[in-house]
Amino acid sequence: MTEISRRTLLGGTLAGTALAGTAGTLAGAPRAMAAPGLIQEDVDWERFLADADPVWRRMPQTWYEGPFLGNAFLGSGIYAEPGANAVRFNVQHSQVQDHRPQFGSLFGLARLPIGYLTLEPVGAITGVDWRLDLWNAELRGTITTAAGSLELRALVHNDRSVLAVEVTPTAGEEGFRWAFHPAKAISPRADPVFERPPPEGYAANPDPTVTRHGDLEVIVQPLLAGGQHVTAWQDVRRGRRRTLYAGVAWSFPGTKAEGEAVRMVRGAARLPLGGLAAGHRSWWHDYYRKSFLSLPDQRMQSFYWIQLYKIASAARRDAPVMATCGPWLEPTPWPATWWNLNVQLEYWMIHGSNHLELDAVTRSLGEFRDALVDQVDPEYRADSAGIPRTTDMNLLNGAASGNSGYPVGVPGRSSPTPEVGNLTWALHNVWLSYRHTLDGRILREVVFPLLRRAINYYLHFLAPGPDGRLHLPYTFSPEYGVNAPDCNYDLALIRWGCRTLLESARLLRVDDPLAPRWRAVLDTLADYPADENGYMIGAGVPFAKSHRHYSHLLMVYPLYEVTWERPDKRALIDRSLKHWISFEGALQGYSFTGAASMSAQMLRGEDARSYLAELLRRFVQPNTMYKESGPVIETPLSAAQSLFDMVCQSWGGVIRVFPALPASWPDLTVHDFRTQGAFLLSAVRRGGRTEFVRLASLAGAPCRVRTGIPGPVRVRGASGRPIRWRTLPGGDLEIDLRRGEEVVIHAAGHRPDLRVSPVAPAEPAPPWGLPT
């Protein structure tokens, strides 16, 4: 971990990423700092992103096939209405949930379905021609029917949280109609197809009421626990065009949602779609321009840009932390927020892509910290905190009051699966937000106080064994199915947590009385259990069956507690990865993203690319969504992070440029990629050779970079101040960069073309969607 000045850390002027709401300005700031002409951006954004647009020449039949729209609150998936001549536009909202904690987070606090609209043509649908326009975040195209055609344009507005669908019919289709179909307000987990019977006494909420407010239809869904959610919609005619406006409002425990939904829709309906879309488009255009990535694999490149669209459709700082399917609730056994892998993987890509304005994890853990204290057993609440496997949007789990669900277990003695490391792992995400911004408020107000409590919880149970080492009683490694003492999942998190607390206390200049205990833990904690096949689940529990989760390998990735840069650990890392991924039966999509990122750490670009190719081939659906027993979105988003790990790594205080690229990617461009230490990286590779590396410092932190440029290099700045730099014994460069300064590094005697622009695809690839 690198040293930074107290002025940089505590000034708190850099990011405000999670705590002061200034992330939107943060991400755009580096452009103003860059010297004119140093780096030339040569990107026709609209044309470039059009190459990544998913298209549909066949009617999608499911959510996994169709286009999707969203703004992290309101979400809509579009596909054929089963058994009808109609197109479904789902209407779902990330804040709409039940409020009956006595039935646990999966029933009593579950996300609740709202319903859907159907576009019902006059004639039988004979074809579609749709394009999801990523640049403008709109769906556009036509529906062809036996009676004519319907020209379609749809968006979920970025700010207004309104679904707007403009339809221009031909003469034969002027009689098309819209209808809203409310869903039963019951946990999706109660669906008999999932074979999860609800708890005794659990019942569906009352049926909704449907009324008219002038030209609006209003559907009010009361809840047994109080509160309501309300859908309002209307169809406005302007000449031949008709535009549907639909919005959802939620309130608890009050019942003010009805008035809010009516105001929301009426306010939007005053504008035609063209006027409504202006601000929406402006936000999305600014969003995409904050970073750039282009590679010769057209299929992979398109996939990446769809993930960037997807995460902004599903995540914002002020929105709930993403549930397993984001704002697009579909039938699922997982209608809540999952903290033993899903949340962590969902948000990793926001750091490198320079989109800290999407960081709901840091905001939520800070805002709802009292819930994290309340959900450990009362005897530990004075100094500890934890997070259960599942929560609602307020980080509540009904088990905290002794009811059904997944409480924070007590190591060695309570619950069938004492899964206790989830808060520590979630705080690793927050630590990454700090490291990518060096915003001292994140460290001072979220990381340090909550991590202190999370590690304190472990300290209650660590005890010396006959060997003099500290040992942990049995806990649960997600999701292996067998409890184990000295569980590697927890040992890795304990080591990372104690190391990070000591570093944080030093940076904050806090003389913490627990610091000696943290040092003692690092000195005497039991070694990671391992056998001839690599890392085990825990002491006495070998890794011996197919397992989708890499919880037993967290010390390798993403914690980087045991790394490939330690020659004495390479054989162990290699055995562990190969043994884990060799058990085929239970592997799922995120198994391959984890394997890709570990391979990237091992500098094996061919392996990393192969794992990502397998993911796309076997698991990713036509619209780039992902499913297991139900819809889950973490895996495609984590694949974007695996791609980042191939392009740039910045753990351990060193920025590694192009560390794990396959030979089939001889050309690559990355621009304004955000690294740990709060740097923006731009780099261009042409013909298998790195042309240049540009680094802009946002915080004045120490800069060490491994450029991969062979031979002597030149380092030149743009500020006019001579830049001091030196080559370290291992070949890394150490550069004296002040906040606001930037440098370009290139081979000595070579004058590179300092343009960032798209690279040519190696070969054409079909678009995502249903193109044929």
pLDDT tens by residue, 465-491:
999 999 999 999 998 989 999 999 999
- 632 and 536 belong to one structural domain: yes
- Residue 729: give its domain's CATH number: 2.60.40.1180
Per-residue pLDDT band at 84 (split at 50, 70, 90): very high
Per-residue pLDDT band at 414 (split at 50, 70, 90): low
Per-residue pLDDT band at 36 (split at 50, 70, 90): very low
More confident residue, 29 or 106: 106
- 587 and 736 belong to one structural domain: no
CA-to-CA distance for 515 and 480, rounded, in angstroms? 33
Instruction: Please list, in sequence order, all residues whose beta carbon lies within 8 angstroms of the beta carbon of residue 517, skipping any fewer than 6 positions away.
Output: 459
Q: DSSP label at 751?
A: -
The CA-CA-CA angle for residues 455, 499, 634, to 5°, reads: 70
Among 235, 265, 285, identify where a domain stops: 285
Give start and end residues of each alpha helix (H) in 383-421: none
Tell me: pLDDT of 21 over 70.
no
Write the single-letter amino acid at 520.
A
C-alpha of 440 from chain center = 23
CA-to-CA distance for 86 and 61, rounded, in angstroms? 11
Tell me: pLDDT of 399 over 80.
no
Lowest mean pLDDT among 186-195, 259-268, 657-666: 186-195
Token code pair at residue 760: 């040519």
C-alpha of 300 from chain center = 18
Domain for residue 510, yes or no?
Answer: yes
Per-residue pLDDT band at 32 (split at 50, 70, 90): very low
Domain for residue 123, yes or no?
Answer: yes
The predicted pLDDT at position 481 comes to 86
- 610 and 666 belong to one structural domain: no
Q: 630-655 pLDDT, tens per residue?
A: 889 999 999 999 999 999 999 999 99
Are the C-beta atoms of residues 437 and 17 closer than 8 Å to each other? yes
- 434 and 494 belong to one structural domain: yes
Among 598, 628, 649, identify where a domain stops: 649
- 281 and 306 belong to one structural domain: no
- 340 and 200 belong to one structural domain: no
Q: DSSP label at 428?
A: H
Q: Give me the percent of the chain exceeding a pLDDT of 70.
A: 94
Among 631, 649, 667, identify where a domain stops: 649
CA-to-CA distance for 386 and 380, rounded, in angstroms? 10
- 663 and 582 belong to one structural domain: no
Q: What is the DSSP string of 313-355?
A: HH--TTSPPP-TTTT---S-S--SEETTTHHHHHHTHHHHTT-
Domain for residue 125, yes or no?
Answer: yes
Q: What residues make up the domain containing 717?
A: 24-45+656-756
CA-to-CA distance for 78 and 308, rounded, in angstroms? 19
Domain for residue 598, yes or no?
Answer: yes
Mean pLDDT of all residues in 209-214 = 94
The predicted pLDDT at position 11 comes to 38
Residue 168's SS3 state is strand
Tell me: pLDDT of 330 over 90.
yes
Domain for residue 772, yes or no?
Answer: no
For the chain, what is the total number of helices (H) and then of strands (E)?
A: 19, 38
- 89 and 181 belong to one structural domain: yes
The beta-carbon contacts of 554-558 under 8 Å, at least 24 apart in sequence, are 554/425, 554/488, 554/489, 554/492, 554/493, 555/488, 555/491, 555/492, 555/495, 555/528, 556/598, 556/601, 557/594, 557/597, 557/598, 557/601, 558/344, 558/348, 558/428, 558/597
The predicted pLDDT at position 653 comes to 97
Widest Cα–Cα separation across the chain: 86
CA-to-CA distance for 130 and 445, rounded, in angstroms? 47
- 427 and 350 belong to one structural domain: yes
Other residues' Cβ atoms within 10 Å of the Cβ of residue 772: 8
- 161 and 190 belong to one structural domain: yes
The beta-carbon contacts of 237-243 under 8 Å, at least 24 apart in sequence, are 238/272, 240/168, 240/169, 240/174, 241/166, 241/167, 241/168, 241/272, 242/166, 242/167, 242/168, 242/169, 243/164, 243/165, 243/166, 243/167, 243/269, 243/272, 243/273
Domain for residue 165, yes or no?
Answer: yes
Average pLDDT, the chain: 93
Tell me: pLDDT of 455 over 90.
yes
Rg (CA), the chain: 26
Tell me: pLDDT of 35 over 80.
no
Mean pLDDT of all residues in 533-543 = 97
Domain for residue 75, yes or no?
Answer: yes
- 593 and 554 belong to one structural domain: yes
Tell me: pLDDT of 9 over 80.
no
The predicted pLDDT at position 547 comes to 86
Token code pair at residue 312: 């902004």
The predicted pLDDT at position 191 comes to 87
Other residues' Cβ atoms within 10 Å of the Cβ of residue 62: 17
CA atoms within 13 A on the CB side of 42: 13
Q: 189-200 pLDDT, tens per residue?
A: 998 888 888 999
Domain tally, the chain = 3
CA-to-CA distance for 440 and 355, rounded, in angstroms? 18
Are the C-beta atoms of residues 644 and 694 closer than 8 Å to each other? no
Domain for residue 5, yes or no?
Answer: no
Q: DSSP label at 194?
A: G
Q: DSSP label at 111?
A: B
Mean pLDDT of all residues in 660-685 = 98
- 308 and 455 belong to one structural domain: yes
